[in-house]
Amino acid sequence: MKIVVLKFGGTSVGTIKKIKKVADIITEYKNKKYRVIVVSSAMSGVTNELIKKSFEISDNFSSSEHDVLVSSGEQVACSLIAGRLIHKGYRSRSWLSWQVPILTAGSHKNSRINQINKNKIMKYLKEGGIPIITGFQGVNKENRITTIGRGGSDASAIMIAKFFNAERCIIYTDVEGVFTTDPNKLTRAKKIKVISYEEMLEMASLGAKVMQPVSIQDARLNRIDIEVKSSFIKKPGTLITKRSNIINNKIVTGITSTQNDSKVSLIGVKDKPGVAASIFKPLSKNSINVDMVVQNISANGKETDLTFTIKTEDLNKTKKIIQQNKSIKFRKLILKKNVSKISVIGVGMIATPGVTFRMFQALANKKINIQVISTSEIKISVLIDKKNTKKALVALHKEFKLDNRK
pLDDT in tens, 5-31: 999 999 999 999 999 999 999 999 999
CA pair distance 69, 331, nearest whole angstrom:
48
Cβ-contact 382, 372 below 8 angstroms: yes
Provide mean pLDDT across the span 253-275.
91
Q: By percentage, how much of the chain surpasses pLDDT 70?
A: 98
C-alpha gyration radius of the chain: 23
Instruction: Check residue 246 and give its pLDDT.
Output: 77
Instruction: Check residue 89 and give its pLDDT.
Output: 98
Q: Is the pLDDT of residue 69 over 70?
A: yes
pLDDT in tens, 221-251: 888 999 999 999 999 999 999 987 777 668 8
pLDDT in tens, 75-90: 999 999 999 999 999 9
Provide mean pLDDT across the span 359-373.
96
Cβ-contact 287, 354 below 8 angstroms: no
Q: Are strands 112-116 and 102-105 parallel, antiparallel or unpaired?
A: antiparallel
Cβ-contact 230, 174 below 8 angstroms: yes
The half-sphere exposure of 15 on its side-chain side, counting CA atoms within 13 A, is: 6
Instruction: Check residue 281 and give its pLDDT.
Output: 95
pLDDT in tens, 307-327: 999 999 999 999 999 999 988
The CB density around residue 183, as the number of other CB atoms within 10 Å, is: 14
pLDDT in tens, 106-118: 999 999 999 999 9
Instruction: Check residue 183 and give its pLDDT.
Output: 86
Q: Is the pLDDT of residue 206 over 80?
A: no
The CB density around residue 130, as the number of other CB atoms within 10 Å, is: 25
For the four alpha carbons of 44, 50, 53 and 58, in that order, the dihedral sign comes to: negative
Instruction: Check residue 185 and give its pLDDT.
Output: 85
Instruction: Check residue 151 and give its pLDDT.
Output: 73
pLDDT band at 299 (very low <50, low <70, confident <90, very high): low
Instruction: Check residue 150 and give its pLDDT.
Output: 72
The whole-chain average pLDDT of the chain stands at: 92
Cβ-contact 179, 58 below 8 angstroms: no
Q: Is the pLDDT of residue 405 over 70?
A: no
As a dihedral over the C-alpha atoms of residue 310, residue 311, residue 314, residue 316, rounded to 10 degrees, the angle is 80
pLDDT band at 388 (very low <50, low <70, confident <90, very high): very high
Instruction: Check residue 21 and give its pLDDT.
Output: 97
Q: What is the DSSP string of 57-88?
A: H-TT--HHHHHHHHTHHHHHHHHHHHHHHHHT
pLDDT in tens, 129-168: 999 999 999 999 999 999 998 778 999 999 999 999 999 9
Domain residue limits, the chain: 3-174
* Domain 3-174 CATH (choose: 1.10.3720.10, 3.30.413.10, 3.40.1160.10, 3.40.50.300): 3.40.1160.10
Q: How many residues does the chain have?
A: 406
Q: What is the reported pTM?
A: 0.82
Cβ-contact 116, 78 below 8 angstroms: no
pLDDT band at 344 (very low <50, low <70, confident <90, very high): very high
Instruction: Check residue 207 and give its pLDDT.
Output: 62
